[in-house]
Structure 1
């Protein structure tokens, strides 16, 4: 048997030489980088298409629900009933003393005698600044001395319906008929 050296002498070792030109290595790295980038872009688009395809049934369900909600909203707006408004009591005297003489008077139905202003307001022919208020009139059509709003707040008026200052109270007002 012949003996072979496991390690050869340094002079016998093959040398690896590196070229310093660098042009072909840089170009190869650029091509590899662009190839990886293109592969990632294509994979991203494929994943997006796959996700949209898998979610298309859910998307169409959401579209149908959205359309149904829009229909219900439109119907709800059409069937909405007027809401009762809460009027703060601190603004109550302002509402009572508001001048409504400049508002348009609608034509009254033909009657034997013309209606007084109190009778027109009570019949709803003349708009009143206080919501859901109808004045009380006596037999001659004049305003009664005490006027009440929803039987909770009352005040005194003169014969023409002008409120007496500082007469608004909760409950019945003590109005002296003059």
Structure 2
């Protein structure tokens, strides 16, 4: 059930077609396996659930050729696990750390072990994001984040919050945004 709920949320966000948001090329996932399992964030890590979430997000991203980044917990300063090719494509400098369930989080730890060539980077600017269990992914989204209400709004016991991003609107009261 966790795999299916996670994949449904990812696919719904990636497929969303709106003129006011960027297409998804890079997706950030923040997820608390503790919250998914009905516990308090950071207090009841569940590696098996972390694996289901990571696998579902990776599968959904692969279907659309989207890069995916998994946010680690605050013990690793919310660094992110990505494939080396994603880091190279976006000019991201890898750091030296390997996430584990109690130092990085179950989801990021599982993703690291599932990827072909994983690296950890300190920050990204993603086009879209999914937050499963109130992990606070906003710092890794491009400005300006646009909230998206998903039909798939729960994974296990955890609330799902999603966002896409759009270009900044600048110029004040005289500015025009269309021809």
**TM bin (shorter chain):** under 0.3
TM-score (norm: length of structure 2): 0.20
User: Which protein has the bigger helix share?
Assistant: 1
User: Which protein has the bigger strand share?
Assistant: 2
TM-score (norm: length of structure 1): 0.20
Which structure has more relative contact order (CA 8 Å, sep 6+)? It is 2
